Chains A and B, each alone.
Chain A
Amino acid sequence: MCVASLRSMTIALKAKKVLNEAFIECEIIKLVPHMTKRGCAYGIKFDCINIYSVENVLKQNRVKYTEIFRL
């Protein structure tokens, strides 16, 4: 699975909404401390097979993510 890290719950919810509208399944997770330098943050977990679609959908909808990494 892959995770797009996002700076807040608000952005995570927006990401989830636009991805679901694009028929991409995902779930919000809380990132564990070693995944982020700034303390608590959230991410969107999705199947890595959708990585390019996820990037495109997030960019199209101006949802800024910090990075995408594999779990």
Chain B
Amino acid sequence: MIYLDNAATTFPKPPSVIREMAECMRSYCGNPGRSAHYYSIKSAEKIFETRELLAELFDAESENVVFTYNTTYALNIAIKSLLKYSSHILISDIEHNSVLRPISKCEEQKLCTYSIFSTNGSDDDILNNINSLLQKNTSMLICTHVSNVGERRLPIEKIGRLCKEHNITFIVDGAQSAGIHNISVKKMNIDALCIPGHKGLYGPQGVGAIIFGNDYVGRSIIEGGTGINSLELQMPDFLPEAYEAGTLSTPAIVGLNEALKWLKAKNITKLRIYEEGLYNILYDLLKNDEHIKLYKMNDYSGNTMCFNINNLPSSVVANELSKRGICVRSGFHCSPLGHRILNTGNDGAVRIGIGAFNSKNDIYSAYEAIRDIEKQYIK
């Protein structure tokens, strides 16, 4: 099998990730932050070390790293806890449902209003689009760093500066960029960076994080045990425990810990250049194929490519690729706004997501499989 669905979740994982998760389950997986015995302390130490690794990678303070289950939970917590009621929110026109749905619900509940800014054009165009939509009560801007369908990368450093000038809370969805692009929470004026452990960071599923830019604590979203201040009815008013009710997933977090060490050793810039090289090979193979419709938001070459074969439904193409041992994802990728921009129609598109473990041969095999499907379906 050739795995090319890395935009959904990277696979395989570095062997050290699997080894340490098994070692954790076998040797020391106590409840972190609940006791002072060996197992609890050892688990807590590993979790703390992982906070430090994430803080180093994203240029933040380790206490400001809050663990969640995934990016969606991270975004929901960040948005709902930092939201100023009755205020106005800005989101981009390429947001994933993990931003669009919470914001839509917020508006439905009359807690906020929102506008969508266009990401078409240059960086200056995007900033002008944002400026044109600012209202007196705009309190929050949420945007993805990199689209999960079109390789559009937003100028988050410039947007962060604009947000700071206008005293707007800036939340970034780093689902497709964490571990692939350099992100500095401090330099980019990000108030909350929401990331997955299982994509570009190469950790396991079941762990994500919010990297807060400061130690401000908003309203709690999930309440419960934290192992501290147990006699009080309210959640702790400090990070990270303010947002970490219940037992953390120690095995997943220690897996992420090893993944971050692996990533550091590999160097994320080198990995990105490698993946872009594979992307360019595939793009060059497909761009002259008369039956292929390639969807691109800009000229940037990343690691994620969307396409269709003539009018074949994307699900049919993905199924046929699967029969040929190529794993990709079809449909709308939980990103209806992005697909609207790509104009993919009623059946979305086939998405190829390239990862660090892919090779040139994987790309050539995928191309051969696509050609084979064309021969089968296009007479």
- Chain A interface residues (CB < 8 Å from chain B): 7-11, 13-14, 17, 28-30, 37-42
Contacts and interface: CB of A to CB of B under 8 A. Distances in A.
B223 interface: no
Measured as residues with beta carbon below 8 angstroms from the partner, the interface class of chain B is 20 to 34
B177 interface: no
Contact of A38 (B51, B63, B227, B232): B232
A32 B343 CA distance: 63
B36 A13 contact: no
Contacts of A17: 48
A13 B48 CA distance: 7
B267 interface: no
Nearest to A29: B36
A40 B230 contact: yes
A10 B51 contact: yes
Interface in B158-200: none
A12 to B, nearest CB: 8
B85 interface: no
Contacts of A37: 231
Given A14-B48, A14-B62, A42-B36, A9 B240 contact: no
A66 B227 CA distance: 17
B245 interface: no
A9 B33 contact: yes
B252 interface: no
5 contacts: A8-B227, A10-B33, A10-B240, A14-B63, A29-B36
Query: Sorted from nearest, which 4 A-B pairs have the closest CB atoms?
Result: A39-B230, A39-B231, A9-B33, A13-B48
A7 B238 contact: yes
B251 interface: no
Contacts of A28: 36, 41
Contacts of A41: 228-229
A42 B48 contact: no
B151 interface: no
Contact of B48 (A10, A38, A39): A10
Contacts of A14: 48, 62-63
Nearest to B244: A10
Give the interface SS of chain B, mostly helix, strand, loop or mixed: loop
B220 to A, nearest CB: 15
A39 B232 contact: yes
B134 to A, nearest CB: 35
A27 B33 CA distance: 14
A39 B240 contact: no
A8 B41 contact: no
A38 B236 CA distance: 10
A52 to B, nearest CB: 25
Contacts of A9: 32-33, 44, 48, 227-228
Contacts of A42: 36, 228
Interface in B1-55: 32-33, 35-36, 41, 44-45, 48, 51
Given A38-B229, A42-B228, A7 B36 contact: no
B241 interface: yes
Nearest to B240: A10
Nearest to A16: B45
Contact of B236 (A8, A13, A29, A30): A8
A16 B240 CA distance: 17
Nearest to B44: A9
Interface in B205-259: 226-232, 236, 238, 240-241
Contacts of B238: 7-8
Given A9-B227, A13-B45, 8 more contacts: A7-B236, A8-B236, A10-B240, A30-B35, A37-B231, A38-B228, A39-B228, A41-B229
A8 B238 CA distance: 9
B317 to A, nearest CB: 48
